Amino acid sequence: MPDSSFSSSKTDLATEASELRMATFRLARRLRAQRAVDTLSDGQYTVLAALKHFGAHTLGELAERERVTPPSMNRTVNCLADAGYISRTADDADRRKTNIDLTPTGRSLVEETTRRRDAWLEDALSNLTAEELEVVSRAASILREVASR
């Protein structure tokens, strides 16, 4: 005979996981709405943010990092280059490779979007109690750990 407490806790865990997923997606959607340029897709912004955080990449490295095909990344990179957000330069060590990096305009866009997102979240958090802020801080630490697995 199955242990009913185990079954119940599995159901509770599934419910909690679903609630957390929905809350996380909603928060992410609200944060994504805070951007410096409305015409940029989330995928395009992610590429710019990766370049700012990790530095220049080749097309293949960007495709691998973002888990998309090289042709898909090529389309994204072309759009970003046409908008003046990234530049392409030949690799000094291997002239067959092209390095993709942020232009000053692209860097400014990432910085302004980050500023807006942080400001929105700071404003939202300012309405919480000290106890709620402590819980959020602890949850952030735990979620970072979960995401790194």
Terminal Cα distance for the chain, rounded: 34
Between 120 and 7, the higher pLDDT residue = 120
How much is the pLDDT for 9?
A: 73
Q: What is the 3-state secondary structure (H, E, C) of 79-139?
A: HHHHCCCEEEEECCCCCCCEEEEECHHHHHHHHHHHHHHHHHHHHHHCCCCHHHHHHHHHH
Specify whether the CB–CB gap between 26 and 124 falls below 8 A: no
How much is the pLDDT for 137?
A: 95
Decide yes or no: CATH 1.10.10.10 for domain 33-147.
yes
The Cα–Cα gap between 63 and 76 comes to: 10
Mean pLDDT of 46-72: 95
**12-44 tens-digit pLDDT:** 989 999 999 999 999 999 999 999 998 899 999
**90-142 tens-digit pLDDT:** 988 888 889 999 999 999 999 999 999 999 999 999 999 999 999 999 999 99
Specify whether the CB–CB gap between 64 and 47 falls below 8 A: no
The Cα–Cα gap between 125 and 139 comes to: 14
How much is the pLDDT for 10?
A: 73
Give the pTM: 0.80
**60-98 tens-digit pLDDT:** 999 999 999 999 999 999 999 999 999 999 988 888 889
Tokens of 16: 């909690």
How much is the pLDDT for 92?
A: 84
pLDDT of 2 above 80: no
The Cα–Cα gap between 125 and 123 comes to: 5
- 106: amino acid identity, one letter: G
